[in-house]
């Protein structure tokens, strides 16, 4: 019965998302890109990590991650608006923008490795080949496919997957949340809700949280949609994407944290699959479909973005095809030398450094515009980004 209800919810969500008034809405189309990137960054892997590491305090940590992301987003939104009204830049801000682009290109490279390692893990999760070796083989094969596509045909055709991917993902998330609500209600009725003690406390809890910032990353993509949308629309779409993702993440973490017993021995990148098997037999298959679609489309988007940035920053000295080969080489190296949690930490620290630079630019622009309170705020946000980049640690 629950399986049927979940499938009905998925279908209803899909009908709403393809309804012309939604699908053709300019605001929604502008929101899809950052929203797809945020949710694709770690929705499936984050729940079990927070549950096992922080116990009953996991929802508070989730709120904290979203608040930090919103602070970083506010700095980028300020830059979007300020560039629109005062496009003239100083040599200092120009230099910081160039440095930020270099850091972002590197962050994209690491994030592609993260996405495709998740793809590999979920790709073999429901098969008899469910082990790290075969997951890494699948990841390497997809890296090879991406390199071949980038060198021959380019990614324009594959980039059209983004809208389909985010709609599919939101449909399945709607079904997942229904299943979790039913399970939560049943656990409440049995008096089986639990508040587990945190396994990570003190300074270690803060550095682990810093190492997870990539799971709420992706909102910055609105910054680079200037050729398609004006500044007001990019700011609005970034805020909307962060609000929607915050609501989804927080509901998900609350339902997951208190209705399941956390098991540190079973914590891996696909732990959510085993947990959802308890809720409804249909959910593991749906989650694998969502994961494969989301991770592949996110990897394509970041590969394309990284190639373009590297070519731009090098002033054409490094062609996009060479950049793709560099990305794939580093990605395959990370795949075979690091585990997924280490890659998550590396990506988090790289994006945190990018956010720190953007916040620094915002602080300078605010100071020059006599917005002293904002300059102070963004200066603090920049220091926070540097601290995250310096001290973020992976899940043990």
- Domains of the chain (ranges; CATH) run 2-391 (1.20.1740.10)
Share of the chain above pLDDT 70, in %: 95
Q: What is the pTM of this model?
A: 0.91
Distances (CA, A) of 376 to 26, 167, 351, 367, 370: 34, 39, 21, 8, 11
* Tens digits of residue pLDDT in 121-146: 999 998 888 899 999 999 999 999 88
d(CA 380, CA 360): 9
- 3-class DSSP string for 183-199: HHHHHHHCCCCCCCCCC
Give the H/E segment covering residue 111: helix 91-124
d(CA 175, CA 245): 16
- Asked whether the predicted pLDDT for residue 87 surpasses 70, the reply is no
Residue partners of 201: CB distance under 8 A and separation at least 6: none
The number of residues making up the chain comes to 396
Mean pLDDT calculated for residue range 43-47: 86
DSSP letter for 394, please: -
- 3-class DSSP string for 139-196: HHHHHHHHHHHHHHCCCHHHHCHHHHHHHHHHHHHHHHHHHHHHHHHHHHHCCCCCCC
d(CA 79, CA 231): 10
- Asked whether the predicted pLDDT for residue 301 surpasses 90, the reply is no
Task: Report CA 16 to chain centroid distance, whole Å.
Answer: 24
- Asked whether the predicted pLDDT for residue 264 surpasses 80, the reply is no
* pLDDT value at residue 262: 79
Neighbour-count burial of 243, counting CB atoms closer than 10 A to its CB (0-12 exposed, 13-18 middle, 19+ buried): middle
């Amino acid at each position: 019965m629950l399986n049927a209800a979940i499938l009905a919810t998925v279908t209803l969500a899909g009908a709403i998302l393809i309804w012309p008034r939604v699908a053709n809405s300019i605001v929604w189309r502008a929101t899809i890109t950052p929203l797809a990137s945020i949710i694709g960054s770690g929705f499936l892997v984050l729940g079990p990590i927070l549950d096992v590491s922080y116990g009953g305090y996991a929802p508070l940590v989730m709120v904290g991650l979203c608040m930090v992301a919103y602070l970083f987003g506010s700095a980028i939104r300020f830059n979007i608006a300020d560039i629109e009204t005062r496009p003239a830049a100083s040599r200092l801000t120009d230099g910081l923008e160039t440095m930020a682009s270099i850091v972002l290109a590197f962050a994209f490279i690491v994030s592609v490795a993260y996405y495709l390692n998740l793809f590999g893990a979920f790709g073999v999760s429901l098969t008899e080949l469910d082990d790290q070796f075969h997951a890494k083989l699948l990841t390497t094969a997809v890296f090879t496919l991406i390199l071949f596509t980038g060198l021959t045909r380019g990614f324009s055709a594959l980039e059209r997957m983004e809208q389909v991917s985010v709609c599919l993902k939101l449909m399945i998330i709607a079904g997942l949340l229904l299943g979790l609500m039913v399970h939560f209600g049943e656990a409440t009725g049995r008096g089986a809700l639990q508040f587990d003690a945190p396994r990570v406390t003190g300074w270690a809890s803060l550095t682990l949280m810093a190492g997870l910032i990539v799971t709420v990353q992706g909102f910055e993509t609105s910054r680079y949609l200037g050729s398609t949308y004006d500044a007001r629309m990019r700011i609005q779409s970034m805020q909307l994407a962060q609000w929607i993702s915050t609501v989804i993440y927080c509901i998900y973490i609350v339902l997951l944290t208190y209705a399941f017993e956390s098991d540190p021995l079973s914590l891996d990148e696909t732990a959510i699959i085993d947990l959802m098997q308890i809720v409804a037999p249909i959910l593991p298959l749906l989650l694998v479909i969502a994961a494969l679609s989301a991770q592949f489309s996110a990897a394509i988007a970041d590969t394309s973005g990284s190639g373009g940035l590297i070519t731009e920053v090098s002033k054409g000295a490094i062609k996009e095809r060479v950049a793709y080969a560099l990305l794939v080489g580093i990605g395959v190296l990370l795949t075979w030398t690091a585990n997924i949690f280490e890659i998550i930490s590396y990506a988090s620290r790289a994006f945190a450094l990018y956010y720190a630079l953007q916040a620094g630019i915002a602080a300078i622009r605010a100071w020059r515009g006599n917005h002293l309170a904002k300059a102070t705020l963004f200066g603090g946000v920049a220091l926070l980004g540097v601290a995250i980049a310096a001290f973020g640690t992976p899940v043990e």
